[in-house]
Amino acid sequence: MSDLMEKIVSLSKRRGFIFPSSEIYGGLQGFWDFGPLGVELKNNIKKSWWKKFVQERGDVVGLDSVIIMNPKVWEKSGHVKGFADKLLECKKCHHRFRGEDISAVDGMGGGCPKCDSRDYEEEKEFNLMFDTYVGPVKDSASVAYLRPETAQGIFVNFENTVNSMRLKLPFGIAQIGKAFRNEITPGNFIFRSREFEQMELEYFVNPKEDEKWFDYWVEQSYQWFLDLGIKKENIKKRSQAEKELAHYAKATVDIEYKYPFSAQGGSASGGEKGWAELVGISNRQDFDLKAHGIKYKDDVPQEEYIPYVIEPSFGVDRAALTFLLDAYEEIKGGRTTTTKSIKEEEVVLHLHKDLAPYKVAVLPLSRKENLIKVAKDVYKKMQTRFMAAYDEVASIGKRYRRQDEIGTPYCVTVDFDSLEDKAVTVRDRDTMKQERIKIIDLVDFIRERLGL
């Protein structure tokens, strides 16, 4: 694992962002839990996405469909037959490869990358859907699947949604929710896991306008990351080549990020080291609605046709990893110039304010009773408006660094002068600039700074 990834994995565990799932029993490969700060980050990512892709538009509505649906959904969508990866297993060391990794091995002369043996089990097709049983009888008639994407829940609710909301083309239906894939090679922390969340938008258009809308949604998706502070040099758009396209897709653009690892399999970008899929935007044409036998009637002109669908498909967990990686900065010797630097390593997580788990931390300068009382009052006031932290343990410098490391944009220090002037010092995470603000004005000040 790269140095940066190791640091992110360790920070995530140490500071309560992400934990290995069921760790006390040795964990389970491909499953991760989000801790107290991780759940805030994830919720903020979802909130920001929903605001841009649903709330601020008049043409997109939301949906929350179930994870386990009638298995016919997955038969018709092609997943039962086709949502499979090629699986190759080395007979000697039992190393397993998937999809494109097999071609990569072929390209390197055919030896197993782990043990160099050329003795493999027969290549198999491996369906990535998890299955389960519905009801008390476990037989083939009761088999059901955990959804491997949220999109199909949208397609099967197309008619109900259109009718109840009186939707007219072009319009979109958005959904955020869990998806499950029994990945052959989960890894790179939460980049590829077996249980994850997706944020998907299915935007239905007149087939004559598909290319215009496809370009539009590629730009909107890309812009969302830039608006949330992802560095331009670390993100790019890549059109999939014809041979890479899924069978239903007329075109697909992957928004890729420059990860500090080489991703395996399908999400690895055309061979370029580090770059891998963060989001995929596909023109799925009329494949899905047709597969489910769904029609749409437009009033003008009076014709019945099947809309095309443009799908931006985001992974919440992959986005969370990307925001953490991109925000991480390590400063050798620390940033303090006013006092003699303690020469320790300082970490600042420059998360966008919308994404930061805590927006503000309240820190009394000392543990004197009268200071604590004021600080706790200020904390209470902050909590009613923002996710706020309170910390009275260790030196003020240490406490600033604790908050910098988890990306808290503002620290509010209550000092002895506060008792007299009824004001506090607000410190900015990125500039370290300090401003004296009256307690009575503090909520408005922070709110304005956060753009709320």
Stretch that binds ligand ATP, among 89-97, 262-270, 339-347, 443-451 (CB under 6 A): 262-270
Closer residue to ligand ATP, CB minimum distance, 172 or 409: 172
Please tell me the distance from the alpha carbon of residue 181 to that of residue 203, in angstroms, as a whole number. Answer: 24
Please tell me the distance from the alpha carbon of residue 415 to that of residue 285, in angstroms, as a whole number. Answer: 62
User: Does residue 196 bind ligand ATP (CB under 6 A)?
Assistant: yes
Distance from the Cα of residue 443 to its chain's centroid? 30
Stretch that binds ligand ATP, among 132-140, 189-197, 348-356, 370-378 (CB under 6 A): 189-197
Please tell me the distance from the alpha carbon of residue 439 to that of residue 425, in angstroms, as a whole number. Answer: 10
| Burial of 293 from C-beta contacts in 10 A (0-12 / 13-18 / 19+) | exposed
Cα Rg for the chain, rounded, in angstroms?
A: 25
Residues 294, 81 contacting (CB under 8 angstroms): no
User: Does residue 313 bind ligand ATP (CB under 6 A)?
Assistant: yes
| Closest CB 72 distance from ligand ATP, rounded Å | 21
| Closest CB 240 distance from ligand ATP, rounded Å | 9
Among 65, 150, 198, 221, binds ligand ATP (CB under 6 A): 198
Stretch that binds ligand ATP, among 73-81, 214-222, 272-280, 297-305 (CB under 6 A): 272-280
Residues 361-380: x where in contact with ligand ATP by CB under 6 A, - otherwise, as a string: --------------------
Kindly provide the b/e burial profile for residues 121-155, where b requires at least 16 CB atoms within 10 angstroms of the residue's own CB: eeeeebbbbeeeeeeeeeeeeeebbbbbbbbbbbb
Please tell me the distance from the alpha carbon of residue 346 to that of residue 353, in angstroms, as a whole number. Answer: 20
User: Does residue 346 bind ligand ATP (CB under 6 A)?
Assistant: no
Please tell me the distance from the alpha carbon of residue 122 to that of residue 403, in angstroms, as a whole number. Answer: 53
Among 279, 310, 406, 423, binds ligand ATP (CB under 6 A): 279
| Closest CB 65 distance from ligand ATP, rounded Å | 17
- CA distances, 137 to each of 84, 142, 205, 425 (Å): 27, 7, 43, 65
Residues 292, 151 contacting (CB under 8 angstroms): no
Residues 367, 382 contacting (CB under 8 angstroms): no
Stretch that binds ligand ATP, among 11-19, 188-196, 201-209, 417-425 (CB under 6 A): 188-196
User: Does residue 259 bind ligand ATP (CB under 6 A)?
Assistant: no
Closer residue to ligand ATP, CB minimum distance, 83 or 305: 83
User: Does residue 277 bind ligand ATP (CB under 6 A)?
Assistant: yes
Residues 128-167: x where in contact with ligand ATP by CB under 6 A, - otherwise, as a string: ---------------------x------------------
| Closest CB 29 distance from ligand ATP, rounded Å | 12
Residues 60, 173 contacting (CB under 8 angstroms): yes
What are the residues binding ligand ATP (CB under 6 A)? 149, 181, 183, 192-193, 196, 198, 265-267, 277-280, 313-315, 317-318
